[in-house]
Structure 1
Amino acid sequence: MKTLSLLRHAKSGWDDPVARDFDRPLNERGRRAAEAIGVHARRLGLAVDAIVASPAVRVVETLDVFIPVAGLDDVEPHWDRRIYLASSVTLIDCLRDCPVEAQHVLMAGHNPGLEDLILDLVPDNGTSPLRDEVEIKFPTAALATIELDIDDWSSVDSRCGRLVHLCRPRDLDPALGPEED
C-alpha cells in the first residue's frame, strides 16, 4: 500500500499585477491558511518520503510556509512543471514517476486537477462522506490523504484509493473560510 497526500495551493492574490498566472503570489489570507494546514499536518504526524509540486509561485510560496510548520524540512520538493494546471490524467502520470521506495508522497498543485484526481482515485460507492465533500469543492490550502491499493507508484490508476482524511482551512479557523459577499 502507498499513501498520497494532496495539498492545493493557498489563496493567491488577484490584486497583484503580474503578467502571467504562473507568477501569482499568495495573499495574506493564503499565508495564514498554509500555516494553519501545516500546524494541522504536524499534529497528524504527517510523514512523507517525497514531495512533488508545481513550480508556480503560489505553490512554491504555499510550501515555503507549510513545510517548516509541518515539520517536513528534511524532504526537498521535486518541482514538476507538468503539475501546473494539469488534468487528473497528467497528475496520475506524474505519480507514476515517483520513486518506488517512497511510501507516502505529497503532491502540491492546483484545481481543478487535484479535485478531479481525488474523484478519479476514490470510487464513488456512496460510502465516503469525505469524497462527497470533495465533490462539492476542494478549496485552496485543503489537504487530503488517500490510501492507494498499490505496491508501486507505476501502478496508480483510477479507483485504486480510499480517502482517509480531508481538512480545509475553514475546518481549523472559520475566518479562513469562504469570503462573504
Structure 2
Amino acid sequence: MKELILIRHAKSDWANESVKDIDRHLNDRGYADAYHLSQWYKSEFTLPDLMLSSPATRAINTAFIFARTFGIPESQVIVNGELYESTMKEYLKVISDLDKKFNRVMIFGHNPAITNLTNELNKDLLFENVPTCGIIKIGFSYDNWKEVADKKNGQLLLNKFPKSFK
C-alpha cells in the first residue's frame, strides 16, 4: 500500500510586488495555517517516509514547518525543481521515479498541479480547487510508485483544509 500526501503551500505574501514569484515567503496566515495543520496531522496520522518540496520559498517554508512539527530535520526535506511551475504530468513523473521503499510520501507544491493531480489520482471526489495549505491524502493498493503514476485509481483517504478548523 502506498500513500501520497499532497499539500499545497500555505498562503504567501504578495505585499512586495518586486519579489520574484519563486522567492515569495508565507504571510502571517500562511505560517499559522501550516503550524496548525501540521500539529493536527501529527496527532492523527503516521508520519511520512519522505518529504519533497518545490524550490519556491513558500513551499519550502511550509515543508519546514511540517518537518519541525514532525521532529524531522529540515535537511531531510528534498527540494525538487521539477515541482515548481510544473504540470500534473511532471508531478506524475516525479511520483513514478520514487523508490518503492517509501510507503508514505508528502509533496509540497503548487496549483493548478496539486488540484489537477488530486483529481487525476482519485475518482472518489473531484475538487474545483485545493486551497492554500490544503492536505489531500490518497491511498493506492500498488507496490511501487510507477504503478501509482501509471494506473492511478487511488482512494481518497483525507481532504483537510484550513477552513475546516475555523
Same fold (TM over 0.5): yes
- CA drift of 1:53 comes to 1.2
**Aligned-CA RMSD value:** 1.7
Q: Find out whether 1:80 has 2:72 as its counterpart.
A: no
2:128 aligns with one of 127, 130, 136: 136
**Does the CA contact (< 8 Å) of 1:18 and 1:24 recur in 2?**
no
Runs of 4+ aligned residues of structure 1 deviating over 6 Å after TM superposition are: none
Q: What amino acid sits opposite 1:101 in the alignment?
A: K
Q: What amino acid sits opposite 2:129 in the alignment?
A: K
Residues 67-118 of structure 1 show CA distances to partners (whole Å, capped at 9, x for unaligned) of 2223444881111111012111110000111111001100110011011001
Q: What amino acid sits opposite 2:88 in the alignment?
A: S
Residues 7-36 of structure 1 show CA distances to partners (whole Å, capped at 9, x for unaligned) of 110000011244421111100000000001
2:141 aligns with one of 126, 149, 166: 149
Q: Where does residue 58 of structure 1 map in the other structure? A: 58
Residues 136-156 of structure 1 show CA distances to partners (whole Å, capped at 9, x for unaligned) of 320000111100132111222
Specify the SS of the correspondent of 2:91.
helix
Q: TM-score, normalised by structure 1?
A: 0.85
- CA drift of 1:63 comes to 1.5
Count of residues in correspondence between the two structures: 165
Change (3 A) 1:113 1:144: same
1:162 aligns with one of 155, 160, 163: 155
Q: TM-score, normalised by structure 2?
A: 0.92
Q: Where does residue 120 of structure 1 map in the other structure? A: 120
Aligned positions of 1:89-108 closer than 5 A: 89-108=89-108
Aligned residues with identical type, % of pairs: 27
- Any unmatched runs of 5+ in structure 1? 175-181
Residues 49-76 of structure 1 show CA distances to partners (whole Å, capped at 9, x for unaligned) of 1111101000111122222223444881
